[in-house]
Amino acid sequence: MSAQLIDGKKVAARVRDEVAEAVAQMKEKHNYTPGLATVLVGEDPASATYVRSKQRMCERLGIHSVGHTLSADATQEEVETLVAKLNADPNINGILVQLPLPKHLDEEAVLNTIDLEKDVDGFHPVNIGRLAMKGRDPLFIPCTPAGCMELLADAGVEINGAEAVIVGRSNIVGLPMAMLLQKANATVTICHSRTKDLTEHLKRADIVVAAIGWAEMIKGDMLKPGVAVIDVGINRVDDDTRERGYKLVGDVEFDSAAEVAGAITPVPGGVGPMTIAMLMKNTLRAAEIALAK
Ligand code: GUN
């Protein structure tokens, strides 16, 4: 391996330490504790696990957290009523509605109900719209893309003028990531499942962000030497040598990519720990906004 390893565990720990310190200061100086409410609709095990980790991290950093779980058949009105209640709750600074919501619910309408100043996920249509526009800034940036930007900064990757290729166009990662890199003056290409010649695009890229959810789809021979690779994928693949029967891999084939890249994130231990760290940072920011009022 010749690439520099971008250590998400280390960067996330630094972000969390900064948040914990700022939370302690806020308590001391203002007698104020940031609060995060999570909303989980249904019992999808992966979503439940994510929400639990977010709550546990709040506890670790001194942030007040309240978890709400609604049944999988909750109505649109029930979800929106809960969000409205949390909007009005002065002890809650951030509201996180875990996605995806069950199919019968209108996701955009729910996200639109969240108070802009409590939108710690940055998924409110107004925050996303501001992210997309020149000269405007959202109050909150979506956590996973914000974490990817921190990792690029930590690795000293030059974004200004760089060719960036994002593989994947999800609302949660690919799309906001493209907008962030564009704001930072990269020339951005978004590739996806219908892209005709992915390798042709990748071969030009100084920065690759892989967020397509396809295990080890991007190989070293598809990359330009020296590229910075941010792998957002977390995929389970069978592995009989492990007791649990599977291992986690990214969307990039790590070993071959690390021979070609200048810098690369591992999976696990790359982007993964950053998402929750950035959520904690956004929750602190929401508390600072509330406190300033
Ligand atoms: N589902 C997958 N990632 C996320 C995230 O960052 N926030 C929310 N709310 N739901 C998600």
Residue 1 pLDDT: 77
Rounded distance, CA 271 to CA 8, Å? Answer: 6
Cα distances (angstroms) measured from residue 56 to each of 86, 100, 113, 117? 20, 21, 26, 23
pLDDT in tens, 34-87: 999 999 999 999 999 999 999 999 999 999 999 999 999 999 999 999 999 999
pLDDT in tens, 161-217: 999 999 999 999 999 999 999 999 999 999 999 999 999 999 999 999 999 999 999
The whole-model pTM stands at 0.97
Q: Give the distance (Å) from ligand 1 centre to CA of residue 253.
A: 24
- Give catalytic status of residue 54 as yes or no: yes
What is the 31 CA–ligand 1 centroid distance (Å)? Answer: 30
Kindly name the residue from 55, 118, 121, 231 that is annotated as catalytic.
121
pLDDT for 293 beyond 80: yes
Q: What is the pLDDT of residues 116-169, one digit of tens each?
A: 999 999 999 999 999 999 999 999 999 999 999 999 999 999 999 999 999 999
- Type of residue at 27: K
How far is the C-alpha of 73 from the C-alpha of 106, rounded, in Å? 13
Distance from Cα 99 to the centre of ligand 1, integer Å: 5
**Ligand 1 site, CB within 6 A:** 96-99, 121, 143-144, 172, 275
98 is catalytic: yes
Sign of CA dihedral 7, 13, 18, 22: positive
- Walk me through the domains of the chain, giving residue ranges and CATH numbers: 31-115 (3.40.50.10860), 142-273 (3.40.50.720)
pLDDT digits (tens, 9 = 90+) for 209-256: 999 999 999 999 999 999 999 999 999 999 999 999 999 999 999 999
pLDDT of amino acid 138:
97
* Residue-wise pLDDT tens digits, 268-277: 999 999 999 9
Active site residue 182: no
Q: Which of 44, 86, 98 to mutate to test the pocket of ligand 1 (most atoms within 8 A of CB)?
A: 98
- Tell me how far CA of residue 282 lies from CA of 65, 155, 223, 293, in angstroms: 14, 22, 33, 17
